[in-house]
């Protein structure tokens, strides 16, 4: 299992997302600021329309066994 920094993980998620036939412009994985105490403190989340959530979840699940990451992914947005 490869170990990735949060930035590397987000880059890989975005690479897979943009290669997905369901991808829409404006949808992307982003970092959660480390100072965000109410969320994952430096993990990752996503931006875009709510109807993309199933695609987002599928891509994250596909990477679950491939990478060890520093911070969690948070699908629910504030």
From residue 52, alpha-carbon distances to 2, 60, 77 in Å are 27, 13, 13
Query: Rounded to whole angstroms, how far apart are CA atoms 51 and 11?
Result: 22
Whether residue 75 lies inside any domain: the answer is no
Residues 1-32 have pLDDT tens digits of 789 988 999 999 999 999 999 999 999 999 88
What pLDDT does 14 receive?
97
DSSP letter for 15, please: H
pLDDT per position as a tens digit, 32-76: 876 766 665 667 889 999 999 999 999 999 988 888 887 778 777
Residue 76 lies inside a defined structural domain of this protein: no
Q: What is the structure's pLDDT at 39?
A: 60
d(CA 66, CA 77): 24
* Per-residue model confidence (pLDDT) at position 54: 95
Q: Is 51 contained in some domain?
A: yes
Domain count, the chain: 1
pLDDT on residue 25 = 96
Identify the domain containing residue 9 by its residue range: 2-69
pTM assigned to the model: 0.85
78 part of a folded domain: no
């Amino acid at each position: 299992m490869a170990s990735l920094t949060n930035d590397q993980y987000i880059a890989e998620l975005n690479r897979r997302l943009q290669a997905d036939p369901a991808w829409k412009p404006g949808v992307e994985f982003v970092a959660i600021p480390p100072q965000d105490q109410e969320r994952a403190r430096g993990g990752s989340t996503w931006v875009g329309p709510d109807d993309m959530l199933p695609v987002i979840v599928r891509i994250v699940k596909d990477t679950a066994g491939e990478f060890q990451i520093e911070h969690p992914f948070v699908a629910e947005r504030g």
